[in-house]
């Protein structure tokens, strides 16, 4: 059985992946009407990534020559990076990007299933494409990502949206070329969804968005089974990429001139648990050695297993940026337990204290859910007080959204929508005031910014980020993109800081 030490639920015989899942079931049977909850079998973690690496030789038939594609991406950075990989494969097949839905030969929805409103939006957009498909039967429509992993979504496609040509899951991305080839000859929707992760396919081509910052996957899937979350079911169990593959990709990116990399995983600080030879701190040190890279970021961390070694490594490695996204979800212990988060409020606050002591300039951001089943006003007040105590730089706040197949849907006492909306508003007001106060203190400071390119909202100015991930807008010549610069903060706001170029720093990197 698992035991609680230092407020964290740990396994007493080292890591056993099923224990986490078992804990979910304990929470369920203690607090909910405990009907049978289907256990998704967890594969033997001793199966190494080396064994799991694909033996596939991917073919890229040139069926896209003269054709265009459009990918609409929803959800997290993991999805955005999957889109870069799919765009890379399409490029290999001859496709070029379309300027809009009207001139696209292939439209793909790369979807998110974390909250219901994201799903509604996708179905709405697909519905609007029906006339286009009727006008141009050659148009290929696809649906990929987390929604495709849900059987209810696949049934819905078959029933209501049969004009979608291909539906493929998060484990089937590498099959896009063959699916497109099949779609040309098929009258019916082709479904290709593996329920569980199969091989990890290395070295797929990628089209990366811009030339300064790049994402690098280090880990896929999640074993945490938070009771509200669909990710363990849509992305499968945690699998770490081999460190040498990660480092090789980062070296290649440095060679191509990228200055900043973000290591991606659902729980990056669990990296390597399955490999048993390295942990996340070791990987960070290896990546920190890569010449040419100026900044290293990572997301998402989990408060669970955020070790002292990791804190020390972040503090010591010069390239690791001072920003940690550390989702807390709630400030109340009863809610945290029902969420199966595996830590307490006290543990979280202690962890924040340790991080701030070791990395004094660190910027902390978080995710918070309000209206989780059983959350009373008093419990919500604990979340507000935690937010005031920690003073996060920013928080992504959500109303709990029941996801079919997750344990929390079985909890009684769901919070009425109006109540949840009201809590969300109060939480946002509290956090925004704190974000603004923190930013206001930066007025007149000169900060180091990595210049990324044009601002997304105003093409007349450039944007860049401070090491702590805060967005800065300023005027500067275009040829400074990709360089580090000192910027004086003139006008701090809640979400961004407006500044003035002081000097471009020496040519960095390679
Ligand atoms: N309802 C609301 N928010 C959710 N998240 C995950 N699942 C749900 C859900 N069912 C939020 C969590 C997570 C972030 C990515 O999305 O806060 O950290
Ligand atoms: Fe979902 Fe994150 Fe919990 Fe995993 S750790 S189950 S991805 S909320």
Taking CA atoms, 281 is separated from 102, 250, 292, in Å, by 47, 16, 20
- Alpha carbon of 300 to ligand 2 centroid (Å): 10
Rg (CA), the chain: 23
Which of 365, 369, 387 has most ligand 1 atoms within 8 Å of CB, for mutation?
369
Homologous superfamily of 68-192: Methylthiotransferase, N-terminal domain (3.40.50.12160)
Atom 1 (ligand 2) nearest CA = 229
Determine if residue 14 is left, alpha or beta; phi over 0 gives left, psi from -120 to 50 gives alpha, anything else beta. Answer: left
Residues 260, 283 contacting (CB under 8 angstroms)? no
Residues 219, 239 contacting (CB under 8 angstroms)? yes
Q: Which residues are annotated as a binding site for [4Fe-4S] cluster?
A: 76, 112, 146, 222, 226, 229
- Position 311 scores a pLDDT of 98
Place of tokens 């290649």: 252
Which of 78, 229, 406 has most ligand 2 atoms within 8 Å of CB, for mutation?
229
Residues 48, 277 contacting (CB under 8 angstroms)? no
What pTM value is reported for the model? 0.87
- Alpha carbon of 103 to ligand 1 centroid (Å): 35
- Alpha carbon of 228 to ligand 2 centroid (Å): 8
Q: Evaluate whether 68-192 and 446-507 have a shared fold.
A: no
Q: Which residues contact 187 (CB under 8 A, 6 or more apart)?
A: none
Taking the chain, what is the end-to-end CA distance rounded to the nearest angstrom?
51
- Position 507 scores a pLDDT of 59
Dihedral sign (CA 281, 284, 288, 289)? positive
The CA distance from 227 to 225, in Å, is 6
Beta strands 219-220 and 239-240, pairing class: antiparallel
Place of tokens 């593996």: 194
Ligand 1 atom closest to Cα of 403? 10
φ, ψ of residue 464 to 5 degrees: the values are -155, 175
- Alpha carbon of 333 to ligand 1 centroid (Å): 18
Place of tokens 């191509």: 256
Ligand 2 atom closest to Cα of 235? 7
Place of tokens 């938070």: 226
Q: How many residues does the chain have?
A: 510
**Please, which residues bridge with residue 209 across strands?**
none
Which pair of structure tokens corresponds to residue 246? 């990660």
Residues 323, 450 contacting (CB under 8 angstroms)? no
- Position 11 scores a pLDDT of 38
Ligand 1 atom closest to Cα of 367? 17
Domain boundaries, the chain: 68-192, 446-507
- Position 204 scores a pLDDT of 83
The CA distance from 144 to 150, in Å, is 11
Helix (H, G, I), strand (E, B) or coil at 319: coil
- Alpha carbon of 30 to ligand 2 centroid (Å): 21
- Alpha carbon of 100 to ligand 1 centroid (Å): 30
Task: Give the chain's residues under pLDDT 50.
Answer: 1-21, 29-48, 509-510
CATH architecture of 446-507: Beta Barrel (2.40)
Q: What is the DSSP letter of 468?
A: T
Ligand 1 atom closest to Cα of 396? 17
The CA distance from 92 to 343, in Å, is 46
> pLDDT per residue over 364-419, tens digit each?
999 999 999 999 999 999 999 999 999 999 999 999 999 988 999 999 899 999 99
- Position 210 scores a pLDDT of 65
Residue 18, CB-side half-sphere exposure with 13 Å CA sphere: 7
Residues 324, 301 contacting (CB under 8 angstroms)? yes
Residue ranges lining ligand 2, Cβ < 6 Å: 222, 224-226, 229, 231-232, 266-267, 302
Which of 17, 23, 77, 231 has most ligand 2 atoms within 8 Å of CB, for mutation?
231
- Alpha carbon of 498 to ligand 2 centroid (Å): 34
Could you check whether the bond before residue 300 is cis, i.e. omega within 30 degrees of 0? yes
Residue ranges lining ligand 1, Cβ < 6 Å: 114-115, 228-229, 327, 329, 367, 369, 398, 400-401, 403
> pLDDT per residue over 277-331, tens digit each?
999 999 999 999 999 999 999 999 999 899 999 999 999 999 999 999 999 999 9
- Alpha carbon of 339 to ligand 2 centroid (Å): 10
Q: What is the DSSP letter of 407?
A: G
φ, ψ of residue 475 to 5 degrees: the values are -90, 135
The CA distance from 9 to 461, in Å, is 48
Taking CA atoms, 371 is separated from 378, 397, 418, in Å, by 12, 11, 10
Rounded (10°) CA dihedral 174, 178, 182, 188: -10
Of 45, 400, 52, the closest CA to residue 223 belongs to 45
Which of 115, 227, 421 has most ligand 1 atoms within 8 Å of CB, for mutation?
115
């Amino acid at each position: 059985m698992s035991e609680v030490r230092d407020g964290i639920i740990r396994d007493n015989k080292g890591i056993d992946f099923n224990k986490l899942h078992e804990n979910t079931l304990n929470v369920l049977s203690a607090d909910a009407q405990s009907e049978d909850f289907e256990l998704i079998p967890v594969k033997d973690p001793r199966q190494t990534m080396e064994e799991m690496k694909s033996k596939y030789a991917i073919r890229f038939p040139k069926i896209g020559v003269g054709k265009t594609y459009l990918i609409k991406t929803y959800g997290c950075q993991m999805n955005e990076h999957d889109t870069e990989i799919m765009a890379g494969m399409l490029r290999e097949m001859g496709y070029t990007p379309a300027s809009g839905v009207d001139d696209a030969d292939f439209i793909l929805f790369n979807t998110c299933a974390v909250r219901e409103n994201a799903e509604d939006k996708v179905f709405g957009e697909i519905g609007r494409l029906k006339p286009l498909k009727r006008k141009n039967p050659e148009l290929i429509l696809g649906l990929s990502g987390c929604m495709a992993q849900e059987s209810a979504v696949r049934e819905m496609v078959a029933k209501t949206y049969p004009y979608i040509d291909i539906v493929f899951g998060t484990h089937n991305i590498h099959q896009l070329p063959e699916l497109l080839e099949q779609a040309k000859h098929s009258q019916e929707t082709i479904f290709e969804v593996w329920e569980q992760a199969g091989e990890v396919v290395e070295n797929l081509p990628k089209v990366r968005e811009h030339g300064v910052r790049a994402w690098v996957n280090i880990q896929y899937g999640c074993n945490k089974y938070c009771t509200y979350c669909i990710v363990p079911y849509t992305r499968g169990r945690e699998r770490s990429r081999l460190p040498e593959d990660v480092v090789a990709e980062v070296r290649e990116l440095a060679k191509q001139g990228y200055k900043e990399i973000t290591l991606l995983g659902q729980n990056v600080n669990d990296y390597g648990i399955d490999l048993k030879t390295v942990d996340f701190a070791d990987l960070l040190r290896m990546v920190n050695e890569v010449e040419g890279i100026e900044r290293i970021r990572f997301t998402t961390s989990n408060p669970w297993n955020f070790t002292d070694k990791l804190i020390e490594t972040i503090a010591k490695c010069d390239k690791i940026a001072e920003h940690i996204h550390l989702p807390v979800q709630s400030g109340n212990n009863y809610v945290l337990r029902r969420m199966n988060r595996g830590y307490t409020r006290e543990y979280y606050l202690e962890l924040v204290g340790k991080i701030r002591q070791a990395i004094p300039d660190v910027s902390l951001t978080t995710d918070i859910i309000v209206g989780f089943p059983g959350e009373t006003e008093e419990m919500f007040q604990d979340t507000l007080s935690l937010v005031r105590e920690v003073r996060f730089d920013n928080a992504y706040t959500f109303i709990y959204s029941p996801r079919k197949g997750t344990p929390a849907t079985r909890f009684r006492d769901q919070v009425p929508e109006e109540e949840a909306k009201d809590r969300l508003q109060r939480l946002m007001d509290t956090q925004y005031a704190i974000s603004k106060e923190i930013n206001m203190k930066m007025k007149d400071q000169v900060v180091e910014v990595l210049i990324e390119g044009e601002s997304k909202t105003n093409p007349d100015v450039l944007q860049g980020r401070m090491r702590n991930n805060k967005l800065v807008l300023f005027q500067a010549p275009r040829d400074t993109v990709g360089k580090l610069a000192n910027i004086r903060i003139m006008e701090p706001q809640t979400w961004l800081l407006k500044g003035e170029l002081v000097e471009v720093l020496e040519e960095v990197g390679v």
